[in-house]
Homo-oligomer: A and B are copies of this chain.
Amino acid sequence: MYEMKKIGGGVCAPEGFFADGISAGLKPGGAKDVAFVYADTPCETAAVFTTNKMTAAPIRHFRSKGTFKTNFILINAKNANAMTGPAGIADIEEILSAVSAAHTGLVEPVMSSTGVIGVRLPKERIIAAAKRFDLHAKNATAAAQAIMTTDTFYKMAATEVVLEDGKRFRIGAMAKGAGMINPAMATMLCFVTTDADADAGTLQAALEAVIPTTFNAASVDGDTSTNDTVILLGNRKSGAFDKEAFETTLHAMLLELAQMMVSDGEGATKLVTFDVQGALDDEDARTAAKALSNSLLMKTAIYGEDPNWGRVASTIGASGAICDEATLTIRFDDVCVYEKGTILFDESTEKRAAAVMKKERFTIACDLGLGTGAFKAYGCDLGYEYVKINADYRT
Listed in ascending order, the chain A residues whose CB lies under 8 Å from chain B are 50-55, 80, 82-85, 116-119, 179, 182-184, 221-226, 295-297, 300-301, 303-304, 306, 308-311, 313-318, 321-326, 328, 338, 341-343, 345, 382-384, 386-387, 390-395
Contact = CB atoms under 8 A, between A and B. Distances in A.
A390 B323 CA distance: 25
Tell me if A's interface is mostly helix, strand, loop or mixed: loop
Contacts of A325: 54, 83, 85
A178 to B, nearest CB: 13
B392 A387 contact: no
Contact of A384 (B304, B309, B384): B384
B394 A306 contact: yes
Copies of the protein in its oligomer: 2
Given A183-B310, A306-B393, 20 more contacts: A54-B323, A54-B325, A55-B317, A82-B310, A85-B341, A118-B309, A119-B343, A183-B315, A184-B297, A221-B297, A222-B296, A226-B313, A296-B296, A296-B386, A300-B391, A301-B391, A304-B391, A382-B387, A383-B387, A384-B387
A118 B338 contact: yes
B318 A224 contact: yes
Contacts of A117: 310-311, 313-314
21 contacts: A50-B318, A52-B314, A52-B317, A53-B316, A53-B317, A117-B311, A182-B297, A183-B310, A222-B296, A225-B318, A296-B296, A300-B390, A301-B390, A301-B393, A303-B387, A303-B391, A304-B395, A306-B392, A306-B393, A382-B387, A383-B391
